[in-house]
Amino acid sequence: MINETIELKEGIKFHKIQTNKFKTNLLAIFLTMPLTKENVTKNALLAAVLRRGTKNMQTQEIISQNLEEMYGAGFDCGIEKNGDNQTIKLYLETINDEFLPEKEELLKKSFQIIFEIAFNPLIENGKFKTEYVQGEKENLKQIIEGKIDNKGSYAMERCIEEMYKNKAYGLYKYGYIEALDKITEEELYNHYKEVIKTCKIDIYASGMLPQNILEMVKENESIQKLQERKVQINEEPKQLIEQEKIIEEKMEVTQGKLVLGLDVDSNIENISYITMCYNTILGGGANSKMFQNVREKASLAYTVGSNYLKRKQNIIIRAGIEIQNYEKALEIIKQQLDDMKNGKFTQEDLNNAKNLIIATIENIPEEQDTQISYYFGQELANTNISTEEYKEKIQKVSKEQIVEVANSVKMNTIYFLRN
């Protein structure tokens, strides 16, 4: 596997991942901008409108036909929150030319199509097509309203919102209905022009790529039209709260959802690798403290575990519990946090955690989209760590380091969704 990054113009990079593990080539375009209350909804709507039609493929039907003609190329377009940034992501997956029944230049065509969707949308009278914008506003509204359908992810979303009140990271990636109602076709198009002029652009290609791939990208008209730009990754300073917040929300649920948001407050070297091990021992899988103590021993939860938000240095603990067991569950969870602080875990626990993390790292090059996401994460963090180095860093984590991190962990918010 070879990874190479070429700066096409300032702020616009092409990343090449040469790999022979797959039958497909995967192309991706990521448009990254600061996450702000003002633009979050517009960006989410933009991602939806772009896939409706382009100058040369005016309807969704024509786009679909083109994709089918390319042996069922898979196209996907969505929105993501990356720390204090928002990214519009476009993907196109096609079969590698080597495995086609007849010779065709699929890769070249793939670039044309994905660039066309991102950079050459359908414009009528100086704005996006009214019908498309209105239709997608309706769909996005359903997505935002549907946030409450999945109670587990809703509770997690709410906890993060409370932890980051009035801050970028507390925003919902699909935006807000109040803002959505006000967006006009014209405004959205003006916003789009601004995005294309200023956002950070990363183009990824993964697969068995030909020699002339860079030319394919450089020669593309849409790419040539893009101008250089100064880009910066948005990163708000972390503020620790003085006293933990306790939030209760009521909804018609049979199962209560308990979510605990914690801050990791340490500047120890290699903090993210150490915290990763800490998190895995605490709530990473079936062998973790949470799973063993909250679920297996106390039978308090159906689902329980913890996540590590690397970009914001937070641990989020989640448990689905009977509502009347709130106190008991909280007590046991806090006990686990204390045990971590006091070093009450074995070398075997640490080894199991390392095995689990290393298995995840080894999986990175085995899936094209996972690999692209990994490199994009490095790009945003401005680091360049190979998966081999990553594994070594995990291997080196010691019990003492974990205890040190454990003692820096502070409760930020306790959120409970109940009836």
Partner 1 sequence: MKLVESTRIKEKAYIEKLNNGLTVIIIPKENTQKKYVIWGTHFGSIDNRFIMPKTNEEVFVPDGVAHFLEHKMFEQENGRNSLDVLMSLGVDANAYTTNNHTAYLFETTNNFYEALDELMDYVQNPYFTDENVEKEKGIIAQEIGMYDDDPGWQLYMNALDCMYKENAIKIDIAGTVESINKIDKDVLYKCYNTFYNPSNMTLVVCGDFKPEEIMQEIKNRIVEKEKQGEIERIYPKDEKGINKKYKETSMPVSKPIFLIGFKDENTNKDKVKKHIAIEILMNMLVGKSSPLYQKMYDEGLLLAPLDMDYEFTNNYAHVMLTGQSKEPKKVQEELLKQIQNLKQNMDNKYFERIKKKVYGDYVVEYNNVADIARMFLSDYFKGINSFDYIEQYNTVTEEYTTEILNEIFDEKNMVMSVVNIK
DSSP line for 102-118: S---HHHHHHHHHHHHH
CA end-to-end span of the chain: 52
Least distance to partner 1 from the beta carbon of 96, Å? 9
Nearer to partner 1 (CB atom), residue 231 or residue 253: 253
Burial of residue 176, with CB atoms counted within 10 A of its CB: 0-12 exposed, 13-18 middle, 19 or more buried:
middle
Which of 139, 153, 184, 227 touches partner 1 by CB under 8 A? 139
Residues in contact with partner 1, counted by CB under 8 A, come to a total of 43
Bridge partners, residue 301, by sequence: 321
Residue 68 interacting with partner 1 (CB under 8 A): yes
For partner 1, which stretch binds (CB under 8 A), given 81-89, 210-218, 353-361, 402-410?
353-361
Which of 4, 7, 23, 134 touches partner 1 by CB under 8 A? 23
Q: Length of the chain in residues, anyone?
A: 419
Residue 65 interacting with partner 1 (CB under 8 A): yes
3-state percent helix, strand, coil for the chain, nearest multiple of 5 = 50, 25, 30
Residue 60 interacting with partner 1 (CB under 8 A): yes
Residue 386 interacting with partner 1 (CB under 8 A): no
* Amino acid at site 323: I
Q: How far apart are CA 351 and CA 344, in angstroms?
A: 14
For partner 1, which stretch binds (CB under 8 A), given 179-187, 256-264, 355-363, 403-411?
355-363
Least distance to partner 1 from the beta carbon of 349, Å? 10
In the Cβ-directed half-sphere of 148, how many Cα atoms lie within 13 Å? 8
Q: How far apart are CA 329 and CA 298, in angstroms?
A: 9
Residue 105 interacting with partner 1 (CB under 8 A): no
Q: Answer for the pair 31, 85: CB distance below 8 angstroms, yes or no.
A: no
Residue 24 interacting with partner 1 (CB under 8 A): yes
Nearer to partner 1 (CB atom), residue 343 or residue 365: 365
Q: Are strands 200-207 and 12-18 parallel, antiparallel or unpaired?
A: parallel
**Helices (H), ranges, 220-312:** 221-225, 271-283, 289-290
Which of 8, 247, 309, 358 touches partner 1 by CB under 8 A? 358
Least distance to partner 1 from the beta carbon of 69, Å? 5
Q: Show the binding pattern over residues 332-351: x = contacts partner 1 (CB under 8 A), - = does not.
A: ----------------x---
Least distance to partner 1 from the beta carbon of 204, Å? 17
In the Cβ-directed half-sphere of 93, how many Cα atoms lie within 13 Å? 10
- Enumerate residues 71-100 that contact partner 1 by CB under 8 A: 71-74, 93-95, 98-99
- Cα distances from 133 to residues 53, 126, 144, 191, in angstroms, run 11, 14, 16, 13
- Enumerate residues 191-220 that contact partner 1 by CB under 8 A: none
Q: How far apart are CA 45 and CA 42, in angstroms?
A: 5
For partner 1, which stretch binds (CB under 8 A), given 262-270, 280-288, 310-318, 401-409?
280-288
Contact positions vs partner 1 (CB under 8 A): 19-24, 60-61, 64-65, 67-74, 93-95, 98-99, 101, 139, 142, 146, 149, 285-287, 348, 352, 355-356, 358-359, 362-363, 365-368
